[in-house]
Amino acid sequence: MTEAIYSLRPLLAVLVSAIAIPLIVASYRRPNVREGWSVAAALAKFGIIASMLPAVLAGEEFRWSFGAYVPGVEFALRADALGMLFALLASFLWVFTAFYATGYMRGLDEHSQTRFFAAFAGSLSAAVGIAFAENLLTIFVFYELLSVATYPLVAHNEDEEARIAGRKYLAYTFFGGGVLVLGGTVLVFALAGTTTFGETAAGLATADPTLARAAFAMLAAGFGVKAALMPAHSWLPDAMVAPTPVSGLLHAVAVVKSGVFGIARVVLDVFGPELVTDLGVGVLLAALAAFTLTVASIIALRQDRLKARLAYSTISQLSYIILGLGVLGPTAIKGALLHIPAHAFMKLTLFFCAGIIHVETHTDYISEMDGIGKRMPLTMTAFAVAAAGMAGIPLIAGFVSKWFLLIGSVETGQAVFALVLLVSGVLNIAYFWPIVYGAFFESADTADEKPLVRGPFGGHTPVPDGGTRSGESPVDRSEETNYAVDRNPSDHHSEEAHEEHDAHHGGPGPDGWQWAGWTGAEGSWLMLGPILAIAAGSVVLGIVPYEAVFLELIEQIVAGVSA
């Protein structure tokens, strides 16, 4: 552990948006001032974190401590390289999300905007707290506070669907956090006498291996709930009822990345790669991640709702990171950690595109998006770029991280995972390409059938009288599919509820899509600007990942862990 510089900056980075909360609430009558506080807090947060970056790159760490929170454990924040990775990502993306959310909420004239922006600020506060936590107990405190702060965002719409999603969200995240992570933390403390990252491995190595495995399982499962590792993933598609900036926040920046970050801390700092290999739990984690990867991609193929497809894509992509952490060679870890910002940029772009499409055209279903490239060219271009990155096309961020993951798997002799990654790449193309192709190269009248979405299982069989008989009756537009597993991706989410909820008026309209031009007439620049900026960011990250700071940080992390 390097000697840390005592500094208030980690604390300030966490608190600056917490301080913004009462200011936001107090400005409820003046929306521009209120949104101004969000932007100001985001910029301040990013500024504070960025100011620590040069020193961290040089190998130093910043530390702040409250003192002993419980005997033996301090409530302390430490800005080290891994923490800086997450914090930098979260604060940078929040700046853009603040603008985007303003555009989105105003575009839809949403209710309870003050509560929304206040909860947003609180969530970011908790996320940076998770990033900078020095020990398991501190990370647990912020983990729970993140659950509390994001719940109002999930249940924002206040209709039945949102309430159900909110209940599910609370149940899953509190089970993961309050039960599993707390249990793992207590167990680690009982076995090792400390919970500080980097200092627990010695004690755990000498403890009873069954108990150490149990602690790993609990911590990985607890963080894995937020990281949407199967089978604890189903809260995520349900949380799609939230407004799109929230989906972006949940799925790119704060919540799911905090789960993955937690697993990274557990694997790299609590146990350490050698101990994980000795205990044999890395392979299990990687196998579970591989399973999640593949199954989520397959489920994504059948989703007609764009946000649902993106949700399953997220579940799949997060497991890339967990796979890399389970495979454990230095290259694989590098790939996994690089995928954190890479996926964040790409997925945020995709969600923001989905959001602006919803605001401008009220279209939520892919089958209604044929030809929408005419109406929203800039948006769909950004979408295409980000989707290409997801599939691992070179020049965009996803390629670099995937490359490292592939090499890492082969290096450690677990080439089967490389195969899984390649298959997943194909599946990614399979579920993203139709959207892009349909948007630019088709129009509403001449659109091709989408057999994967609409076709029944079992296929069609031609019948003598000229019609077709299929294994099941063809899918009706008004219900996604006949299958419970698709209609209810969770066990009590009901599609019927969402039909009543907003009279579906999406789609191109009687004259088809209107050409909007390339100058941004398609929507508000409050939303377009962030989309284009973040899409550009994902390209930058794909071309010069080292100069874009993230890869440099990651190489430092890996060097520190292997030392």
Partner 1 sequence: MSDATLAPIGLIVVPIIAAALSLAAGLVRDRSGWMVALAALLVEAVLMIWLVDAVYRGPGRLVHELGAYGRPGSDGFAVGIELVADELSVLVVVLISVVSLGVLAISRRGGPRGNAFYSAYLLLAGGLMGVSLTGDLFNMFVFLEIVGLATYTLVAADRSAESAVAALKYLLIGTTGASLFLVGVGYLFLATGTLNMADLAAMLAGEPSFVEEALYGDTLVVAGFGFITAGLLVKSAIFPLHTWQPDAYSAAADSVTVYISALASTVAAYAFARVMLTVFTPAFFEVNPIAATAIVTLASVSIVAGSVLAVMQRRVKRMLAYSSVSQFGLIIAAIGIAVHPAAVDAGIPFAGIERTAAEFAVIGTAIHLVGHGLIKGGLFAAVGTIARTEGARTVAEYAELGRRAPVRSAAIAVLALALVGVPPTVGFLGKWYIALGAVGAGLWPLAVVIFASTVLTLTYVARLLERLYFTPRSVALPDRVAADGGTAAAGEPISPTVGAIVVIVLATIGVVALGFAGTEVTEALDPFIAEVFNS
Contact positions vs partner 1 (CB under 8 A) = 66-73, 75, 137, 140-141, 144-145, 148, 152, 155, 158, 160, 162-163, 166-167, 170-171, 174-175, 178-180, 182-183, 186-187, 189-190, 193-194
User: Which CB, 217 or 452, lies closer to partner 1?
Assistant: 217
Class of residue 471 by CB neighbours under 10 A (exposed 0-12, middle 13-18, buried 19+): exposed
Q: Which residue has the tokens 């096309």?
A: 393
3-state class of 159 per DSSP? coil
Pairing of strands 61-70, 4-6: parallel
Q: Report d(CA 320, CA 50) in Å as an integer.
A: 27
Q: Report d(CA 301, CA 482) in Å as an integer.
A: 16
Q: How far is the CB of 169 from partner 1 (least distance, A)?
A: 10
User: Which CB, 69 or 403, lies closer to partner 1?
Assistant: 69
Q: How far is the CB of 163 from partner 1 (least distance, A)?
A: 6
Q: How far is the CB of 135 from partner 1 (least distance, A)?
A: 12
Backbone angles phi, psi at 232, to 5 degrees: -100, 30
User: Which CB, 166 or 530, lies closer to partner 1?
Assistant: 166
The token pair at 516 is 């909007």
User: Which CB, 265 or 302, lies closer to partner 1?
Assistant: 265
Q: Report d(CA 417, CA 424) in Å as an integer.
A: 10
Q: How far is the CB of 351 from partner 1 (least distance, A)?
A: 23
Q: How far is the CB of 71 from partner 1 (least distance, A)?
A: 5
Q: How far is the CB of 243 from partner 1 (least distance, A)?
A: 14
3-state class of 395 per DSSP? coil
3-state class of 254 per DSSP? coil
Q: Report d(CA 214, CA 286) in Å as an integer.
A: 17
Cβ(463)–Cβ(396) under 8 Å?
Answer: no
User: Which CB, 162 or 321, lies closer to partner 1?
Assistant: 162
User: Which CB, 182 or 435, lies closer to partner 1?
Assistant: 182
- Tell me the H-state helices in 133-181: 136-154, 160-174
User: Which CB, 133 or 435, lies closer to partner 1?
Assistant: 133
Q: Which of 136, 176, 440, 99 is nearest to 271 (CA)?
A: 136
Could you tell me where the beta strands, DSSP code E, fall in 85-215?
Answer: none
Q: How far is the CB of 157 from partner 1 (least distance, A)?
A: 9
User: Which CB, 69 or 433, lies closer to partner 1?
Assistant: 69
Q: How far is the CB of 161 from partner 1 (least distance, A)?
A: 11
- R_g over Cα of the chain: 23
The token pair at 464 is 């003598």
